[in-house]
């Protein structure tokens, strides 16, 4: 049995996917980041780890004459990504993919797999720290040609993680090269949008949805009563999401559909807090005041003019800087009476010093928005969204590092699919239940 090598191993996304496919850890993992190697070591303790620059590791020394069945590469992609910002390109980082040829030339892995952003194929010469527009893709084509000259057949395809069972829309370019004479196989999607004929006919499973990865017991903070006021841009994005996913949405995501509780209000404190009860219990004592309401939620994305998305969609791509917010709108039944609230034909009564009321129609009934609460998605939720097992160890390092590692990680679902499709002989003893 040949070795499995994970270059640019990061916190272990590709290694985890490979392990889930073949039933054992990768043999060698390489990364220059001490925190990444620390996380990788905790989750893959039998792997031989190199905390070094990939160029510093000699493939012949690392493999000790053993054959290599698979070499995985996920070189730094920030100088290709459209999300990189306006910083000049660092030639050293942009050229990291050349290390693939070092491994191909020295130890000739049977199969090579590379993951990067879609823009990787635009790799070309740089001048003055900027890509030369007229020569876009020139370096990529040279890189691919040299790999082919070493006896590899090379193919590429963009794959979306949600198509293979991860609850995220993360889209990446994958390149597969092999030199053993066998065909490259691209795995068929296993999941799809729930309204498609393939899903309705049972040929595909429905996409996993964002609400699945959220820990609903974690409290949020009111956007109106924070010690440090939210920025104007954040408030605008929340407002856009509220308009789209609560006010204008015919069928808003009501938490009682998936989260079994009812929000219980005291009329005097409806704007400051709420208590809840499970829907499995008898409803609490009813009296003459209106104390029961609904909660609806959505994801707010803090990028540019992004509105966010409904919780019934897979989570949008996670980045190294967590910009995903869970927003809840608390709704109280509106009867149009002064006793409970007021008529919409009158000026708004001075109920509190905070201006937070809006009329919303949900399933044909009127509600007022009594509060809006928000929190950042937590690292564990982001790892869930990427498709990591819940048992994956992320504790023991700063939260910023946890987020950075998941944002830069490979979604395990795609290495699983690629390895099972191209190296089935390594997976024959592995039994895995797809979600």
Distance CA 75, CA 405 (A): 14
- Least Cα distance to 30 among 66, 2, 65, 3 occurs for 3
- Least Cα distance to 141 among 79, 97, 77 occurs for 97
**Choice among 51, 77, 179, 411 that is catalytic:** 77
* Tokens 């691919």, located at residue: 144
CB of 191 closer than 8 Å to CB of 165: yes
Known catalytic residue: 179? no
What residues act catalytically? 77
């Amino acid at each position: 049995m040949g070795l499995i090598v994970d270059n640019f191993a990061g916190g272990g996304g590709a290694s985890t996917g490979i392990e889930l496919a073949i039933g054992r850890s990768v043999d060698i993992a390489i990364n220059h980041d001490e925190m990444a190697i620390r996380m990788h070591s905790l989750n893959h303790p039998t792997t031989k780890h190199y905390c070094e620059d990939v160029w510093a590791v000699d493939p012949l020394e690392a493999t000790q004459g053993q054959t290599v069945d698979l070499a995985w590469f996920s070189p730094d992609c920030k100088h290709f990504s459209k999300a990189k910002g306006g910083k000049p390109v660092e030639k050293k980082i942009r050229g990291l993919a050349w290390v693939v040829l070092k491994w191909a030339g020295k130890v000739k892995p049977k199969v090579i797999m590379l993951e990067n952003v879609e823009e990787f194929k635009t790799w070309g010469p740089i001048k003055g720290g900027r890509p030369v527009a007229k020569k876009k893709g020139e370096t990529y084509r040279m890189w691919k040609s040299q790999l082919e000259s070493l006896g590899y057949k090379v193919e590429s395809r963009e794959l979306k993680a949600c198509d293979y069972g991860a609850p995220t829309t993360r889209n990446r370019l994958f390149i597969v090269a092999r030199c053993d004479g066998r065909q490259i196989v691209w795995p068929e999607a296993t999941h799809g949008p729930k309204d498609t004929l393939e899903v309705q006919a049972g040929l595909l499973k429905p996409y996993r949805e964002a609400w699945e990865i959220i820990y609903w017991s974690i409290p949020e903070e009111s956007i109106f009563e924070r010690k440090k006021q939210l920025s104007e841009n954040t408030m605008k994005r929340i407002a856009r999401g509220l308009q789209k996913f609560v006010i204008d949405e015919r069928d808003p995501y009501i938490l009682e559909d998936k989260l079994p509780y009812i929000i219980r209000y005291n009329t005097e404190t409806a704007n400051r807090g709420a208590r809840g009860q499970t829907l499995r219990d008898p409803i609490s004592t009813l009296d003459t005041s209106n104390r029961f309401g609904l909660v609806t939620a959505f994801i707010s994305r803090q990028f540019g003019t992004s509105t966010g998305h409904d919780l019934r969609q897979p989570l949008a791509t996670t980045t190294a800087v967590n910009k995903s917010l869970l927003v809840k709108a608390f709704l109280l039944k509106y009867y149009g009476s002064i006793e409970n609230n007021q008529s919409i034909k009158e000026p708004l009564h001075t109920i509190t010093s905070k201006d937070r009321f809006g009329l919303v129609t949900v399933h044909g009934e009127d509600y007022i928005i009594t509060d809006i609460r928000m929190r950042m998605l937590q690292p564990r939720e982001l790892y869930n969204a990427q498709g990591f097992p819940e048992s994956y160890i992320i504790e023991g390092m700063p939260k910023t590092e946890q987020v950075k590692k998941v944002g830069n990680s490979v979604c395990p679902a795609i290495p699983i699919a690629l390895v099972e499709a191209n190296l089935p002989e390594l997976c024959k003893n592995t039994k895995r239940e797809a979600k």
